[in-house]
């Protein structure tokens, strides 16, 4: 059973394709990481799933074909994207950002979920009346993730959550992500330069090189392949 199934995905920005036919799956409740060098096409891959770039090929999500849908319809079906650069509303407070994350919901569970976010990320509770733009980089990442979770997604798509963050903050964020994945069985698709950390969180991983998947399998499979380990794990 798969939650997300991508088949033969091509995508780009106008002059030729960046993605050259990607196949990838995310299991319900699973974590799939996408690794690869700078410029390999990882961000483009996430954008293609979320309908933010021109794409061809098949993308199936929760039993529906979504590669012809617009970004807002894809979001409504349950894919929440935390882009690189985070994208919080800097002039709004933490709490206002969280409320905006829930704007498509009509169910009465929003206050309960907001309390849950503050439990996952106590720093956000301490700073709930502070403008998002005045938060530290780590706190902004926590807010971006929480805001995405407030839409109650089935799949959380994360683009480089560790970018620009100190190692301790990054570890804290990954620890909380693991907790959320385990307790809520939330599926995650994550692009990450810190391959070791990403593999610890994942049950499936793939390596992209110049727009193509060059390896995929379990984290242990990638760790035991010496060439991949040297190229992408740095040891
Ligand atoms: P990084 O780890 O450096 O973020 P990446 O693997 O995420 O790299 P992408 O950002 O997907 O790679 O970029 C893949 C290719 O697409 C690169 O050659 C890049 O220059 C190109 N590209 C990315 N964004 C655009 C854009 N908006 N317009 C044109 N080309 C783009």
Residue-wise pLDDT for 188-230, tens only, equals 999 998 899 999 999 999 999 999 999 999 999 988 888 888 8
* Tens of pLDDT, residues 75-90: 999 999 999 877 788 9
Which H/E stretch holds residue 20? strand 17-26
Q: Average pLDDT for residues 102-119, to the nearest whole number?
A: 92
Q: Is the pLDDT of residue 164 over 80?
A: yes
Beta bridge partners of 216: 206
For ligand 1, the distance from its centroid to the CA atom of residue 213, given in whole angstroms, is 16
Contacts of 107 (CB under 8 A, 6+ apart): none
Residue to mutate, 9, 13, 54, 163, ligand 1, most ligand atoms under 8 Å from C-beta? 13
Rounded to a whole number of angstroms, the CA Rg of the chain reads 17
Cα separation, 38 vs 86, in Å, equals 18
User: pTM value?
Assistant: 0.94
For ligand 1, the distance from its centroid to the CA atom of residue 21, given in whole angstroms, is 16
Tell me if 41 CB under 6 Å of ligand 1. yes
Tell me if 127 CB under 6 Å of ligand 1. no
C-beta atoms surrounding 167 within 10 Å: 10
């Amino acid at each position: 059973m798969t939650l997300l199934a991508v088949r033969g995905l091509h995508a780009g920005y106008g002059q030729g394709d960046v993605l050259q036919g990607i196949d990838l799956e995310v299991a319900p409740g699973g974590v799939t990481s996408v690794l690869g060098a700078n410029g390999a096409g990882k961000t483009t891959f996430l954008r293609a799933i979320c309908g933010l770039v021109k794409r061809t090929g098949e993308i199936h999500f929760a039993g529906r074909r979504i590669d012809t849908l617009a970004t807002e319809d894809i979001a409504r079906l349950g894919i929440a994207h935390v882009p690189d650069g985070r994208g919080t509303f800097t002039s709004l407070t933490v709490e206002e950002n969280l409320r905006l994350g829930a704007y498509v919901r009509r169910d009465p569970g929003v206050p309960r979920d907001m309390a849950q976010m503050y439990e996952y990320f106590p720093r956000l509770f301490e700073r709930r009346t502070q403008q998002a733009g005045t938060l530290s980089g780590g706190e902004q990442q926590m807010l971006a993730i929480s805001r995405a979770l407030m839409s109650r997604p089935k799949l959380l798509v994360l683009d480089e959550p560790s970018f620009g963050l100190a190692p301790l903050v990054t570890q804290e964020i990954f620890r909380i992500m693991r907790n959320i994945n385990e307790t809520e069985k939330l599926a995650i698709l994550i692009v990450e330069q810190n391959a070791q950390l990403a593999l610890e969180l994942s049950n499936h991983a793939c390596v992209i090189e110049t727009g193509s998947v060059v390896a995929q399998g379990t984290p242990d499979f990638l760790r035991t392949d010496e060439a991949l380990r040297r190229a992408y794990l740095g040891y």
